[in-house]
Chain A
Amino acid sequence: MKYFDSTVISQSRLTDDIYVLVAERNGADAHAGQFFMLKAWEHELTLMRPISIFKADEHTLHFMYRVVGQGTRKLSGLKAGDPISLLGALGTGYPLDQAAGRVALVGGGLGIPPLCQTAKELTAKGVLVDAYLGYRDDLFAMEEFEPHCANIFASTEVGEEGYRGYITDLLTPEKYDAVYTCGPEVMMRKVAALCAEQKTPCWCSMEHRMACGIGACLGCSIKTADGMKRVCKEGPVFPANILFQQ
């Protein structure tokens, strides 16, 4: 983890409100499921913004985010060459050291981006990866999964493409050694329940408002079966069985 001045390399707009910001990595570590705190202001805004790692290349970090408020709106206005402060990599990501065999990645909406880096790291370890990507309407980032996945399943709730319905309808946990999920809590609960039925280990990535991002402020603490946990430190990835009681 380090706090450093970086530079924006590019900014692209994927949909109406989803952007990808690429910044210089400056030697920071970055692993599947971790996140960075981003800041492109001095005192106009108080808090940095936590954004997951979409992709990490040797010299660059890619962040995919949706514009939801003042902070992400400011981020979306950045252009190549603009300065940006980064703090990270933060948190505990997916347990890749335990991964083997076949793993399913189940993402919903803006829970999809962190699974891209996860697919890449799993594949590099020789794990066979299937991606289940749930969208509301427009598809995005699917092509990023192609080099790293054996199979990709997509669904839209109201869109034209893919399976019409929820991505959890397509998931068959019994085929996998582990399932990693990230997305709306209602979706992750469903994934966790399906995995519990089949006794397939499942890990979920949680989202929470936070102030410091490093475990000091306790702004992102959540109650789990294993006591209070900080989403920014012990998480954002947790074993499903301590988050959701089956």
Chain B
Amino acid sequence: MDLSTTINGIRFKNPIVAASGTFGFGDEYNELYDVSCLGGISSKGLTWIPKEGNEGIRVYETASGMMNSVGLQNPGVRAFVEEGVAKMRRFDTVLIANMGGSCIDDYVAGAELLSNADIDMLELNISCPNVKSGGMAFGLKANVAREVVAAVREVCRKPLIVKLSPNAEDIVEMALACEEAGADSLSLVNTFQALAIDIHRRKPVFNNVYAGLSGPAIKPIALRMVHAVCKRVNVPVFGIGGIATAEDALEFIMAGATAVQVGTANFNDPLAGQRIVNDLQTLCEKEGITRWEEVRGCL
């Protein structure tokens, strides 16, 4: 079967995309396999101002998953546009620039610059804390998210993906607000806010106390959210959350996703992306699937 799929006019050779923050800018994994076999790569999360990231422990294993508090360490949008884009372009795959921000002005400045860059799509990370509202994430309240998405939409000349936080008050309301504000597609879910405690030190494991939970542990919840959102929105959805096998990817597609993103699985198996692409081909043939339309959103 032809695994290709099209989102916002961009053709993906298959629906498997490397998730932001787990795959750098692709070059490290390209030493292990040809990352051009992937449908797309979402870049390390960029911010207008370069960031050094968080102090202390940044990654921590949990049951069937992991927590991270990397803190968006990145070289900044400008450095990415000047050097990173051309390097990523060597890969024959859809290039998605993932961008976060701590205020609307930064989001807008970044989106303007990235609109002139040689990227295929812009993925907006709205799970970042908003410095102007006491650090509460943009992606929790629909009216706050609507504002940042609308502001970015005004300047963004690339297909705009908005990446939703599962910590949103109401994920469906959030999805509808982002769609209304101009998102061309949605990706969900980002990590779940979680807590780990070091009982010997009687302190949180992470300096920021809370950190993001990902991996197979979150898959059933992510799947439910993707299902609920896909029932209500008209834009395409990238499903994300604990996908580690072709079967997982197919579940998300059956829940309504057009493509999926693979994150934490890259750490468990550095060849995960390539493996899932290959297995998906076999799986579709075994299941008698000839076109994605036969199964996408089938329940």
Contacts and interface: CB of A to CB of B under 8 A. Distances in A.
Given A45-B61, A46-B264, A211 B270 contact: no
A216 B53 contact: no
A214 B32 contact: yes
A3 B270 contact: yes
B270 A210 contact: no
A219 B59 contact: yes
Nearest to A69: B61
A98 B61 CA distance: 38
B278 to A, nearest CB: 15
A92 interface: no
Interface in A1-27: 1-3
A209 B28 contact: no
Q: Which of B73, B216, B267 has the most CB of A within 10 A?
A: B267
A215 B270 CA distance: 12
Contact-residue size bin, chain B (C-beta under 8 Å from the other chain)? 20 to 34
Contact of B64 (A1, A2, A43, A71): A43
Contacts, number: 92
A48 B52 contact: no
B279 to A, nearest CB: 14
A223 B24 CA distance: 19
Contact of A43 (B55, B70, B268): B268
Contacts of B61: 45-47, 70-71
Contact of B57 (A48, A209, A215, A217): A209
A219 B263 CA distance: 14
Interface string B259-284: 00000101110110000000000000
A87 B28 contact: no
A46 B65 contact: yes
A228 interface: yes
Interface in B92-145: none
Nearest to B29: A216
Given A219-B58, A228-B53, A212 B22 contact: yes
Nearest to A44: B64
Contacts of A39: 268
Q: Which of A39, A46, A221 has the most CB of B within 10 A?
A: A46
* SS class, residues of chain A in contact with chain B: loop
Interface string A47-87: 11000000000000000000000110000000000000001
Contacts of B62: 46
Contacts of A218: 24, 44, 53, 58, 70, 73
Contacts of A87: 270
Contacts of A223: 52, 55
B66 A47 contact: yes
B66 A211 contact: yes
A3 B32 contact: yes
A217 B21 contact: yes
Interface in B40-72: 44, 52-53, 55, 57-62, 64-66, 68, 70
A157 to B, nearest CB: 20
Nearest to B18: A216
Nearest to A228: B52
B244 interface: yes
Contacts of B58: 209, 218-221
Contacts of B57: 209
A228 B266 CA distance: 23
Interface in A190-211: 209-211
A129 to B, nearest CB: 32
A217 B31 contact: no
Most buried by B among A2, A39, A219, A220: A219
Contact of A216 (B24, B55, B215): B24
Chain B CB within 10 Å — which of A48, A71, A210, A216 has the most? Answer: A216
B192 interface: no
A71 B58 CA distance: 18
Which of A209, A211, A212, A228 gathers most chain B CB within 10 Å?
A211
The 7 closest A-B pairs by CB, nearest first: A219-B59, A216-B24, A211-B267, A216-B28, A214-B28, A211-B59, A219-B58
7 contacts: A43-B64, A87-B270, A212-B267, A214-B270, A217-B68, A221-B58, A221-B70
Interface of B: 21-24, 28-29, 31-32, 44, 52-53, 55, 57-62, 64-66, 68, 70, 73, 215-216, 244, 264, 266-268, 270-271
Interface of A: 1-3, 39, 43, 45-48, 70-71, 87, 209-212, 214-221, 223, 228, 233
Given A46-B62, A212-B267, A214-B31, 8 more contacts: A1-B31, A209-B57, A211-B68, A215-B24, A218-B53, A218-B58, A219-B68, A228-B73
